[in-house]
Amino acid sequence: MQYLVTGAAGFIGSHVAHRLLAAGHAVVGLDNLNDYYDPALKRARLARLTPSAGFRFAQIELTDHAAVSDLFARGGFRRVIHLAAQAGVRYSLANPRAYTDSNVSGFLNLLEACRRHPVEHLVFASSSSVYGLNRNIPFTVSDPADHPASLYAATKKAGELMAHAYSHLYRLPVTGLRFFTVYGPWGRPDMAPWLFTKAVLAGQPIRVFNHGHLRRDFTYIDDIVSGVIKICDVIPAADDDWDAARPDPATSSAPFRLHNIGNNQPVELSRLIAALESALGQKAIRENLPMQPGDVLETAADIDSLTAATGFRPTVSVEEGMRKFCAWYREYGGI
């Protein structure tokens, strides 16, 4: 099967493409190789994919409407896994336009291409950040998500609304996945596992926000990839029981679904740090700091809908996941 994976040089995208290629599928990987973090890491991820005869790389900006349209005209894609985005809550405070460019304008170009060159299924990445100020724990996809705490979250929520509009107007089968704090080998250098590991090995303090009293649904990359690929085979249809008088945000009279994808086992930041110390055999020097703007106290995924649809069940504990990440980092972390 011919897949398009956007963000193929990114953390999640490169893992998804790798798994698809291993299963014998053909993959076109799209990425712009921007410098949000060191492009050398992105090229190293791509180097794992390029030896496969089934892989072709397209360096394209999603905001380039003509280039995206041309790629789809030549591609013959049956399924599209859209993982490209401008990520990072804190970066959105300093560079807000990067988020509207990529996550709104870029996604619009992709949606237009999917409707003009119809695909069997579009699966796209949303984020647990859309829950914003919601305090119902665990977060369920039927909860309102109307009070974002950052521009990043607002652009991901906008993406969900845009995707629903295209699904409604053009009967485009679309599934959105709200990702919860993904980590593991080949991860992002701006996230806590990488930042903490780098600091501990260098004997430098780690910045622990809200004095460590944050809970996150840390989800290991292998579990995430399994869920993404499984949901690709579950093509949504219109929900005949959907009630416009009592609308469920997670489903629709259009062929549209939303699911959480996470570990369903949130842990305190202090437990992640303890797992890191155990994996490295070194103690962390902690610099306790207050809560950061745009951050939330806790994320926790209710994954019942994804489990019902695919059988998805995460299996990797934070202790096992951090051992695997640290082993990878010791070998490759100097990139």
Which residues are part of the catalytic machinery?
Answer: 152
Rounded to 10 deg, the angle between the 269-280 and 318-332 helix axes is: 50
Residue 328, burial from CB neighbour count under 10 angstroms (0-12, 13-18, 19+):
middle
Alpha-carbon span 5 to 316, nearest angstrom: 25
| Rama region for 181: left / alpha / beta (φ>0; ψ in -120 to 50; rest) | left
User: Strands 267-268 and 215-216, how do they pair?
Assistant: antiparallel
Write the CB contacts of 144 (distance below 8 Å, at least 6 apart in sequence). 134, 249
What are residue 46's phi and psi, to 5 degrees?
Answer: -60, -35
Strand partners, 80: 4, 122
What are residue 111's phi and psi, to 5 degrees?
Answer: -60, -45
Q: Is 46 helix (H, G, I), strand (E, B) or coil?
A: helix
What are residue 316's phi and psi, to 5 degrees?
Answer: -100, 120
What share of residues in the chain are helix, strand, coil (percent, to 5)? 40, 20, 40
